[in-house]
Amino acid sequence: MDVREIIGEIQIPDVLAFLPELVVLITAFTLFTLDLILSPGRKRVFLPAISGIGYVLALMSLTISAGRRGDTFYGTFTNDSLGTLMKTFEIVVTLTVLAFSQRYFSLKKSFYGEFYYILAFTLLGAMILVSSYNLIIVYVSLELVSVGFYILTALMRGSFVSKEGAFKYLILGGLSIALASYGAVFMYIYAGSIDLREILTYRGEDVHYLILGLILFLIGFAIKIGAVPFHFWLPDAYQGAPTPVTALMASVGKIAFFVPVVRIMPLIEERFSFAWMVTLGVIAAVTMVYGNLVALVQKDIKRLLAYSSIAHSGYMLAAVAVTETIGMKAVIYFLVVYAIMGAGSFLVVALLERAEGWNNGTYEFAGMRFNLPYVALAFMVYMFALLGVPPTVGFVGKALVFMALSFDRLWWLAFVMILSTAISTGYYVRLVVLMFMKEREKEVRIPDRGFFEVLSLLFLTVMTIGLAVVPGVVWSLVGVSAENLFER
């Protein structure tokens, strides 16, 4: 065969479509190298700065990759509007988390240079995970995100709670990846392909392999997103992890682990739609109710927000149960807005942990408006957003989920959603009452507040309200993403 014919058969990858991931990868290796050669004092300055520059460049490069739609790297990487939207918010939220890292870890005497390049590799895995249908790439990127979170969770020096949470996360996280891998094997046996699009559109005779594969694959991701009854690792991991890391897991992690399930939605055939709807609907209902009920009795603010995160996984799963375009639009929008309000609520806690004598007890929020009025105001906005009070993005997100359920006549699930939201009023409103209607229990002072920390909280707070006042900013992008997937 002529050399030119061989070259013609070789598909040259479109590197520009992979440019944001490439920038983050280069940033990660740069941080790894600098961690080896810099002195401890210089690491505290250069590592956060290089990280921030790298993530900003990755964010800017999304405008270039957005014009290079389609599959590349032999079909293993898919650059579409959904991936671009999710990667945008993954990077933005990571930047806000980064703003809190240096001061937080220095105060906790747990500053490690490794944090910065592990964070970059974790972000890289999350970006690839939302941009692939290939089972091997999904597995590798899932491992990259998971291993990063295991290490980051255990990063608190001298904290048994941190190590315990990381160990539980490691055990159940390893189980989830094993189950997802077994599911991938059965799906490959069924269709002889490792591309989810080909697998779920293949008309094979022995459909039992496909059903078993899908069940195992979905259970693996259900563990990752903290759906009941696969949630046991989540409260301990969220409580034990450094709080900026918890914010990252609750936002970027939620996006990364949900999107592969979202990509399956348009591929569910008519013969599986009823089973899909009932199965995910029941899991969603149990997750919503359980998460909110257990959150009611929590005295630790991080565990309370952890169970709130479980409940919100239920709301998103309720939208996933609707195998129509409106369901996908609802879950994509909810993922984006929860990343904002979830990260904001945990970052407020990260700021408060720097106060002397702070123990993350809910009672410590009493009278916060006297000591830290701007922190109390920001936290109130996040609590109302998580509850779903207008005019916040949480209200728009829950309204869209309710509309999707109504569209598919899932009235029973819509009723459960309303009931669970009513239950959540008990702990969200209680925190607001403590901050604004109670006398202060203790003096809370936060020393040495950084400019970028205040700017990040202000940005997330404005976004929490602004995207609800002008919902079309995100909704137009969400609509394009969902419609493109269903058309395909």
What's the pLDDT tens digit per position in 298-352?
999 999 999 999 999 999 999 999 878 888 899 999 999 999 999 999 999 999 9
- pLDDT tops 50 at residue 224: yes
- pLDDT tops 60 at residue 4: no
Q: Which of 10, 142, 47, 48 is nearest to 451 (CA)?
A: 48
- Structure confidence at residue 244 (pLDDT): 93
User: Which tokens is 208 given?
Assistant: 């039992």
User: Which tokens is 204 given?
Assistant: 């094979």
Cα(310)–Cα(300) distance, integer angstroms? 16
Q: How confident is the model at residue 33 (pLDDT cuts 50, 70, 90)?
A: very high
Q: What is the identity of the amino acid at 317? A: L
- pLDDT tops 90 at residue 197: no
- Structure confidence at residue 461 (pLDDT): 92
Q: Tell me if the pTM is above 0.85.
A: yes
Cα(219)–Cα(179) distance, integer angstroms? 7
- Structure confidence at residue 273 (pLDDT): 80
Give the orientation angle of helix 472-487 with respect to helix 81-107, to 10 degrees.
130
The mean per-residue pLDDT over the stretch 122-137 comes to 93
- Structure confidence at residue 6 (pLDDT): 47
- pLDDT tops 60 at residue 471: yes
Helix spans in 66-134 (H)? 81-107, 114-129
The mean per-residue pLDDT over the stretch 259-268 comes to 87
Q: Which of 190, 150, 195 is nearest to 168 (CA)?
A: 150
Q: How many residues does the chain have?
A: 488
Q: How confident is the model at residue 477 (pLDDT cuts 50, 70, 90)?
A: confident
- pLDDT tops 60 at residue 2: no
Which stretch of 71-75, 165-169, 403-407, 452-456 has the lowest confidence by average pLDDT? Answer: 71-75
- Structure confidence at residue 10 (pLDDT): 60
- Structure confidence at residue 11 (pLDDT): 67
- Structure confidence at residue 306 (pLDDT): 94
Which stretch of 17-26, 118-127, 159-168, 374-383 has the lowest confidence by average pLDDT? Answer: 159-168
- pLDDT tops 70 at residue 51: yes
Q: Element (H or E) spanning 78, and its range?
A: strand 77-79
Which residues face 72 on adjacent strands?
A: 77
- Structure confidence at residue 7 (pLDDT): 45
CB 115 within 8 A of CB 152: yes
Cα(53)–Cα(67) distance, integer angstroms? 23
The mean per-residue pLDDT over the stretch 450-479 comes to 87
Cis peptide before 235 (omega within 30 of 0): no
10 Å CB burial of residue 229 (0-12, 13-18, 19+) is exposed
Give the orientation angle of helix 19-37 with respect to helix 40-65, to 10 degrees.
170
Cα(355)–Cα(344) distance, integer angstroms? 18
Average pLDDT, the chain: 88
Q: In angstroms, what is the C-alpha Rg of the chain? A: 22
Helices first, then strands: H and E counts in the chain = 21, 2
- pLDDT tops 60 at residue 413: yes
Q: Please tell me which residue, 185 or 268, carries the higher pLDDT value.
A: 185
CA-angle at 355, arms to 352 and 361, nearest 5°: 60
